[in-house]
Amino acid sequence: MVTEAKTKEGMKIPIGPIHPALEEPLHFTFTVDGERVIGVDFRLGYNHRGIEKLMESKDFNQCNYLAEHICGICSYTHSCCYVQNAEKIGNVEVPPRAQYIRTVIAEMERIHSHLLWAGIAGEEIGHKSLFMYAWKARELIMDSLEEVTGNRVNHGINRVGGVRYPIESGHVGHLVGRLTELYKRIDYLEKVFLKDPIIERRVAGVGVLTKDEARKLCAVGPTARASGVDIDVRRDDPYFAYGELDFDVILWDGGDVLGRTAVRILELKESVKIIEQALRQMPAGPYKNDDWKIPKGEAVSRTEAPRGEDFHYMRTGGSNKPTRYKIRTPTIANIPPTQAMFKEEQIADIPIIIASIDPCIGCMDRVSFIDERGTSRYVSFKELRMMKK
Amino acid sequence: MKSEKKKGSRKPVEFELAGADELNGKIGELLAGEARLSAITGSDTGERIEMLYHFELPGRFLTLRVPLDRKAPSIETITGLIPGAVLMEREIVEMLGVEVRNHPRPVNTFIADDYRGPPPLRKTDSKPQTPGA
């Protein structure tokens, strides 16, 4: 923690919010002794967009779209959390067909997010061709997402009480075909990531998070499961159609970067399995229910986002807007565990360890400088512009 | 490897009122029963500040609701029991102006150091002021 970094002597290296080795806009200050990391501190909120506050000024339909724009990768999971909250407070009955469609889209999103991550992980360890292979495979699912929902990333298919349109039979055929092809490519990626000796030597034993640390530091999702913490909202608190589908939760016991990679790669296969089952078992019937009104009340809802448990809380006061909306994204839960992962690691391992939790955070507003006398100061955007001149 | 845990059913969501002074004791009891902290919500209802501690337990999803005085909201940290709550509490300190006593992280993490104005998520009519804006 902060105090630890201060008590030990060492050189401080600031990384982020803009840095060639770190695409995500978060700031880390590493205290290093030679090549060894002995302390780490972080700073967030570089582009805090005030979405929770903004939610209070939007009506229940607009909130759905806003929720979907929280993230640019796992956008659908936030929209799912929101509609579940609204449906719980309004006691809205959702047709089973809609629940199956939501399950299919949610799993398609997991596939595209995990493949995106696999590409970035490849790039971070200097394996550029792996990055290309993973992203090429990802295009298969992106094409299907565009075909089924009309959009590649922010799908806009959810609505309170159901979905906006069903999956057409022609699109189902295309999707099944692409999933068969995708399965082969996942097999290949599995072989490369888990059996290639070069990758294994690069990531095995790096950034270890023990089971006890993962529990205490409230890790979620693949980060927790790779440390052997057996949690998955889809199985423990089955929402949508997950209760009726058969799938496995993947665990790993090493808690290292290799484990987090393995969990994600093997989860891809489970997602393919879930989509295929959901398409087979999808009931006929209505896919939306427009008869709803949201009274005064409060609700919490959770989904298993690609990065872990996503949590939303909503309180309403009887008007057409929420009075309080709280979002706890999985990345916020996974930031404190990184401090345990960095301990005693090498500087060269920093990028892959950060990438291994699959962080997903907003943008920057200013830069931190640490001068050679050891005192740090923050520079405002105005000063930064002056320096540029 | 695959988990051998069996599929559960939908967990009922429960809310329970707790006093600020008995919070850590209650959380200690919950942790003994395999509770996992899911999130902490801070909320300004207009009359009081509410802290909501959301826990996942076997068989239910429990929220401890702790009402605080709106004029001087203050509560003891729970990071002694759950170190992972550090950012969740920090967010509430900065966004709602709640004093979290003995919090291990005394520095701003989410909002800018030069932000001058009321805590952003408080219900208020006055607009926040940023220097130079």
Residues A259, A207, single domain; the answer is yes
Whether residue A140 is found in the same domain as residue A24? no
Region for residue A140 given its phi and psi (left: phi exceeds 0; alpha: psi -120 to 50; beta: otherwise): alpha
**How many CB pairs below 8 Å do chains A and B form together?**
122
Q: What's the complex ipTM?
A: 0.90
List Cα–Cα distances, B76 to A38, A352, B20, B22, B68, in angstroms: 29, 36, 8, 10, 12
CA-to-CA dists, residue A34 to A9, A12, A41, A88, angstroms = 11, 11, 18, 54
Residues A68 and A12 in one domain: no
Q: Which of B87, B98, B102 to mutate to test the interface with A (most CBs of A within 10 A)?
A: B87
User: Residues of A with CB below 8 A from B5's CB?
Assistant: 230, 235-236, 249
Name which of A52, A231, A253 is nearest B36 (Cβ-Cβ): A231
**A144 and A270 assigned to the same domain:** yes
Which one of A55, A88, A218, A273 would you mutate to disrupt binding with B, by most B Cβ within 10 Å of its Cβ? Answer: A218
Residues A373 and A225 in one domain: no
d(CA B46, CA A324): 11
What does residue A341 show for φ and ψ, rounded to 5 degrees?
A: -70, -35
H or E element: which one contains A371? Answer: none
Which residues of chain A are within 8 Å of residue B87 when distances are taken between CB atoms? Answer: 44, 332, 335-336
Question: Which chain B positions have a beta carbon within 8 Å of A382's beta carbon?
Answer: 132
Q: Read off the CATH number of the domain in which A169 is found.
A: 1.10.645.10
Answer yes or no: do A191 and A340 share one domain. no
Q: What is the DSSP string of A156-191?
A: --EETTEESSPPPHHHHHHHHHHHHHHHHHHHHHHH
CA A131 to chain centre: 19
Which pLDDT belongs to residue A370? 33
Is A45's CB within 8 Å of B86's CB? no
Q: Which CATH code fits B13-101?
A: 3.30.460.80
Check residue B129 and give its pLDDT: 55
Task: Give residue A42's pLDDT.
Answer: 84
For residue B5, the model assigns a pLDDT of: 83
What pLDDT does residue A91 have? 94
Same domain for A86 and A206, yes or no, is yes
Instruction: State which residues form the domain around A14.
Output: 2-47+336-388
Distance in Å, alpha carbon of A152 to nearest chain B alpha carbon: 30
Residue B126 has a pLDDT of 52
Asked if residue B75 lies in contact with residue B23, where contact means CB atoms within 8 angstroms, the answer is: yes
Q: Do A31 and A73 have their domain in common?
A: no
The verdict on a CB contact (< 8 Å) between B87 and A217 is: no
State pLDDT tens for residues B2-43. 887 888 888 899 999 999 899 999 999 999 988 999 999 999
The count of residues in chain A is 389
Of B41, B83, B91, the CB nearest to A217: B83
pLDDT of residue B109: 86
* A236 and A200 both lie in a single domain: yes
First-to-last alpha carbon distance for chain A, in angstroms, is: 37
* Yes or no, beta carbons of A313 and B41 under 8 Å apart: yes
* Together in a domain, A321 and A351: no
Question: Which of A45, A53, A300 is closest, CB to CB, to B13?
Answer: A300
Q: What is the pLDDT of residue A11?
A: 86
Q: Crossing angle for the helix pair A96-124 and A257-281, nearest 10 degrees?
A: 150
**How far is the C-alpha of A129 from the C-alpha of A118, rounded, in Å?**
12
* A305 and A181 in a common domain: yes
Comparing CA positions, the residue from A80, A128, A107, A160 lying closest to residue A274 is A107
Residues A230 and A302 in one domain: yes
Our count of domains for chain A comes to 2
- Quote the crossing angle between the two packed helices A330-342 and B86-96, to the nearest 10°: 130
Contact A237 B84 (CB under 8 A): no
